[in-house]
Amino acid sequence: MVREFKLPDVGEGVSEGEIVGWLVEEGDEVSEDQAVAEVETDKAIVEVPSPVDGTVREILAEAGEVVPVGNVIITFNVEGEEDEPAEAEPADSEASEASDDEAEPADAEETSTGEGRVFAAPSARRLARELGVDIAAVEGSGPSGRVTEQDVQAAAESGDEGGQETPAAEQESEFEPAELTEPEDGSGSSGGPAPSAASSADRDKTLAAPATRRIADEQGVDLNAVPATEQRDGEAFVTPEAVMEYAEAQQAAQQADAAGVAGASAGERVERIPYRGVRKTIGDAMSNSKFTAPHVTHQDTAVVDSLVETRERLKPKGEERGIRLTYMPFVMKAVVAALKQHPKLNAELDEEAGEILRKNFYHIGIATATDAGLMVPVVDDVDGKGLLQISSEVNELVQKARDRSISMEELQGSTFTVTNFGAIGGEYATPILNYPEAAILGIGELKQRPVVEDGEVVARYTLPISLSIDHRIVDGADAASFANTFMEYVENPELLLLE
């Protein structure tokens, strides 16, 4: 039988994922739970396992493609089971391609036609659908007359589609109108040569194969600005070759502008980076936090010579156990001690229920800078762990976040967050809440600074702090009291032994 596999919901609130890469190829044998693909969600990179023992029949999503949860991304041939009935889907949906596959025989190399069987590779059949080529009319050049991708491409380029037009029903299922966008300059293009009269000036929609639309997206080209290759049912139809020619013309114009060639079209020299995945999630979360909770930031400075001395004494003990002891465990223990005395900051507001949720557990998030953006690994139950255990867990979680091997569970459930921007440099900031938490503590750079003691200026190790709060449920006085308690613990770290 043919078993379809849809992109699963790999984490809470995840609606789509980007295919980072395939770990298998068409024709490979796989076993149940074997990883077949790596998918990047808005949280992390996860491996997607095969649901069956079988053979990879067809891969339906390419590396780099963003796929909504629930879309079919791969199919398998499974022996000893009957084919699942195809689900009825709208004719104008790309998902109908999967239904077309189910109607085909289980043999991944054969397609039934009115005149017999056509031997074709799965990739060739998919390309034929995308290009609107009647694969039954394509002469195969492979072994035993097998139709290859090159045969399909040659048929499409020659315009020979079997001497018959694609039925209207097929056109509706295989081609979708490109989205219409309003260009900023009214020209219908973001730069480069102006489109011809047959391109986008008066188009209501543009017909293009999914592969063509994907190429346009990768090249940053507005499909409606590409000159139409032909007309189908009165609508403009654009081929991949036309998109590439247009993109090359744009690039040439931009290069000419960069070289100062007279008369060349002016173009912005910018790099276009997709705003999606972790980066978009960070942006959405920051916007939601900033525009939902009224922020107030309280700033102060702790004198921490005793903390520096204590850490220096304990570092060798950690090294004996293979653990690098940083200042972060001291900060986290001091945070928990202060939260126990000021529980208003270990809370969140449930607006829908009209309730403030004060939490009697202490899961501390550690804001971590990674190549993909800011991630917040969570150390659970910090109040019940020692300094070396906390240090070990923080070091491990931060590394996992940076190499994108961290799990969804390790990024969820924090009640309070610490962000150490001082590791990069700087004294004070205005941290944005890790919403819906009520507070976040920012730590500046720990170093020697001038301090006045008994009328004398002396050098002391100081730790600047920036505490942001949700002013709906935490008052400024509460923030100041929490900060004072926190500073008392980091200035006198032996007090942590009493907790």
What tens digit of pLDDT does each residue of 111-120 get?
444 344 456 6
The residue behind tokens 């690098």 is: 324
**How many C-beta atoms surround the C-beta of residue 336 within 10 A?**
24
CATH topology identical between 2-172 and 277-498: no
Question: What residue spans define the domains of the chain?
Answer: 2-172, 176-258, 277-498
Which of 161-165, 335-339, 373-377 holds the top average pLDDT? 335-339
pLDDT at 116: 45
| DSSP sequence for 96-164 | HHHHHHHHS-SSTTEEEETTEEEEB-HHHHHHHHHHT--GGGSPP-SGGG-B-HHHHHHHHHHT-STTS
Q: Which residues contact 367 (CB under 8 A, 6 or more apart)?
A: 374, 375, 376, 417, 418, 419, 420, 434, 440
The third-level CATH classification (topology) of the domain covering 2-172 is OB fold (Dihydrolipoamide Acetyltransferase, E2P) (2.40.50)
Residues 94, 176: contact at Cβ < 8 Å? yes
471 classed as catalytic: yes
- Rounded Cα distance between 419 and 440, Å, is 7
pLDDT at 407: 85
List 298, 342, 363, 471, catalytic entry? 471
Q: Specify the pTM.
A: 0.56
- Rounded Cα distance between 409 and 13, Å, is 13
For 183-208, b where at least 16 C-beta lie within 10 A, e where not — what string? eeeeebbbbbeebeeebbeebeebbb
Eight-class DSSP state of 397: H
**How many C-beta atoms surround the C-beta of residue 332 within 10 A?**
24
Q: How is residue 71 written in tokens?
A: 């879309």
pLDDT at 82: 53
80: left (phi over 0), alpha (psi -120 to 50) or beta: left
Residue 14 pLDDT level (bands cut at 50, 70, 90): low
For 33-67, b where at least 16 C-beta lie within 10 A, e where not — what string? eeebbbbbbbbbbbebebbbebbbbbbbbeeeeeb
By C-alpha distance, which of 251, 242, 255, 171 is closest to 212? 242
pLDDT at 175: 32
Q: Which residues pair with 441 in a beta bridge?
A: 418, 467
Residues 297, 441: contact at Cβ < 8 Å? no
Torsion of CA 46, 47, 51, 54, to 10 degrees: 160
Torsion of CA 92, 95, 98, 100, to 10 degrees: -10
Give the residue-averaged pLDDT of 303-330: 95
| DSSP sequence for 66-84 | EEETT-EEEEEE-TTSPPP
Q: For the ranges 1-10, 94-103, 276-285, 358-367, which has the lowest average pLDDT?
A: 94-103
- Rounded Cα distance between 362 and 379, Å, is 9
Q: How is residue 123 written in tokens?
A: 């990739």
The third-level CATH classification (topology) of the domain covering 277-498 is Chloramphenicol Acetyltransferase (3.30.559)
Which of 141-155, 258-272, 282-296, 428-442 holds the top average pLDDT? 428-442
CA angle 186, 188, 193 (to 5 degrees): 115
- Rounded Cα distance between 139 and 124, Å, is 12
Cis status of the peptide bond prior to 464, with omega within 30 of 0: no
More confident residue, 462 or 221: 462
Q: How is residue 74 written in tokens?
A: 């791969």
Give the residue-averaged pLDDT of 249-261: 64
By C-alpha distance, which of 216, 241, 483 is closest to 339? 483
pLDDT at 255: 63
Q: Which residues pair with 18 in a beta bridge?
A: 40, 66
Residue 183 pLDDT level (bands cut at 50, 70, 90): very low
pLDDT at 11: 60
Residues 102, 82: contact at Cβ < 8 Å? no
Eight-class DSSP state of 177: E
Residues 359, 414: contact at Cβ < 8 Å? no
Q: How is residue 110 written in tokens?
A: 């054969």
Reported as a single tens digit per residue, the pLDDT across 469-484 is 999 999 999 999 999 9
Reported as a single tens digit per residue, the pLDDT across 271-302 is 888 887 777 878 888 899 999 999 999 999 99
The residue behind tokens 């091997």 is: 405
Cα–Cα distances (Å) from 328 to 92, 301, 331, 382, in that order, read 55, 16, 5, 12
